[in-house]
Amino acid sequence: MDEILAGNASFSVYEEIRSKLIEKGVPADQVRFIHEAKTDLQKSKLFDEMNRGEARVLLGSTTKMGAGTNVQRRLVALHHVDAPWRPADLEQRDGRIERQGNLFYEQDPDGFEIEILRYATKQTYDSRMWQTIEYKAAGIEQFRKGDGLQRVIEDVASEAANAAEMKAAATGNPLIFLQVQLAADLKKVEALFSNFKRNQHALDSRITWLEEADKRADRSVARWNGEIAKRDAGTGSSFMFRTAAKSYSEDNKDQLLGAILGCMKVAVERKAEDTFQRAAIIRVGTYRGFEIDVSCSRHKIQFTITGNDSYEPDNLVYRTDDKFSLPGFISRIDNFLDRFEAWRADAEHSRIGERDELAKAKIEKGKPFQQQSRLENLREDSRDVMTELKLMQADDNYVSTWTPKSTVLQGNAAPEAKKMRA
């Protein structure tokens, strides 16, 4: 197609662009056509000349200058003379310049910019071409989001947004361009408003929870006070561990070790008899006012401590291949029982933290949506601009004097260039 357009047609856009560039002072040998390179060796030579700066302008079609065209070393601008049919083609074109390996970026990473320029002629088929790109890109972006229940695109973004603006600009009617911008802005603010309402609903639930902070803290403090009182009442001046059969003191700890190991053995045997039954709980004895039980589950032995409530401390789990020592076992129980005061302090600390959070949540709940006025104006403007377009369609002589309430335009209605960071 490049050869046909450039050689066999009465008008060649390639030659026209080159002639205009030459008139502007660009040397003829610095303007090159991609179809001049017919072999891989010729392409490689052409690409090297571009990267060295010997050639400054390279013209070609999407197909000819697609993947494998690595001429980005000194590129500063990309020009879309026409609109392709597929969003992927538009992305492929931009990929010639939006890539690593640019010399000027390496020299000034923070200040370097490239230009991507798209062209359209008013009141021509360009409008239809950009509209096609818009529809296709929007559908692809919705599919990529992966939400099968979504019926409305939340926002026009990426190539879909570019195509929408180019389509509107190509119609020659500023109201159409305005309608596109209004629709895009409205979708953005609607999305923010939906997120605001979700946050307000979440705040309602959170406030309801936080208002129970004192009740939760009171229950927790009462629980640990009860356990502390039970522990202190059962703690004597000397070591004492009681089983159903006997009380063990410091003098007969060896016998206590045998008794505990015996209980552990029974728990293992009970589990082995029927692996599908719940683990049998074997009473070991009483220590510092708390009942100590043991059970076997698969390949671990768990000791349970019961005061006003029952606990299964992580530090009282033994694997079948772990070594068991009585001093270590007693030390683990003591460490657990001595943590009650810390847990009571945690409850009080949580009370204070949740009170502070409740105050902040109520303040946040009372705040209105900051863009409420803009949202209402955008909604009204979106309705009014469609009314104006219908009036223009019905009467060719109708001249609209309508102006939007929301501020959506900055500068010209149809920008000719788009600057992007590399």
Which pLDDT value is given to residue 156? 43
Domain presence at residue 420: no
Query: Within this chain, do residues 111 and 132 fall inside the same structural domain, yes or no?
Result: no
**Is 362 within a domain?**
no
DSSP state of 117: E
> Are 310 and 265 found together in one domain?
yes
Overall number of domains in the chain: 3
| Contacting residues for 352 by C-beta, under 8 A, at least 6 apart | none
Q: What is the pLDDT of residue 166?
A: 56
Boundary of a domain, candidates 67, 85, 118: 118
The model's pLDDT over 37-89, given as tens digits with 9 standing for 90+, comes to 888 899 899 999 999 999 999 999 888 887 778 889 999 999 988 888 777 88
Give the pLDDT score at 421.
35
**Burial degree of 392 (CB within 10 A; 0-12, 13-18, 19+):** middle
CB 385 within 8 A of CB 408: no
Query: Does 62 share its domain with 149?
Result: no
Q: What is the pLDDT of residue 170?
A: 57
Q: What tokens were used for 221?
A: 């403090």
- Which CATH number does the domain housing residue 17 bear? 3.40.50.300
- Give the residues of the chain that fall short of pLDDT 50: 1, 5-6, 147-158, 408-422
Q: What is the pLDDT of residue 149?
A: 38
Query: CA–CA separation, 128 vs 267, rounded Å?
Result: 80
Please count the other Cβ atoms lying within 10 Å of the Cβ belonging to residue 195.
11
Q: Are 290 and 305 in contact (CB under 8 A)?
A: yes
**Cα–Cα distance measured from residue 369 to residue 191, given in angstroms and rounded to the nearest whole number:** 12
Note the pLDDT of residue 395: 87
Q: Tell me, yes or no, whether 11 lies in a domain.
A: yes
**At residue 139, what are phi and psi to the nearest 5 degrees?**
-65, -40
Residue 151 burial (10 A CB sphere; 0-12, 13-18, 19+): exposed
Structural domain contains residue 416:
no
Residues 327 and 251 in one domain: yes
Token pair, residue 384, equals 């009014």
Task: To the nearest 10°, report the CA torsion of 209, 213, 219, 222.
Answer: 170
Domain range for 6 is 2-118
Residue-level pLDDT at 75: 93
Same domain, 228 and 260: yes
In a domain, 415, yes or no: no
Ramachandran quadrant class, 289 (left: phi over 0; alpha: psi -120 to 50; beta: rest): left
| Same structural domain, 80 and 140 | no
pLDDT in tens, 149-181: 344 444 444 455 555 555 555 556 778 778 888
Assigned domain for 69 exists: yes
Q: What is the pTM of this model?
A: 0.52
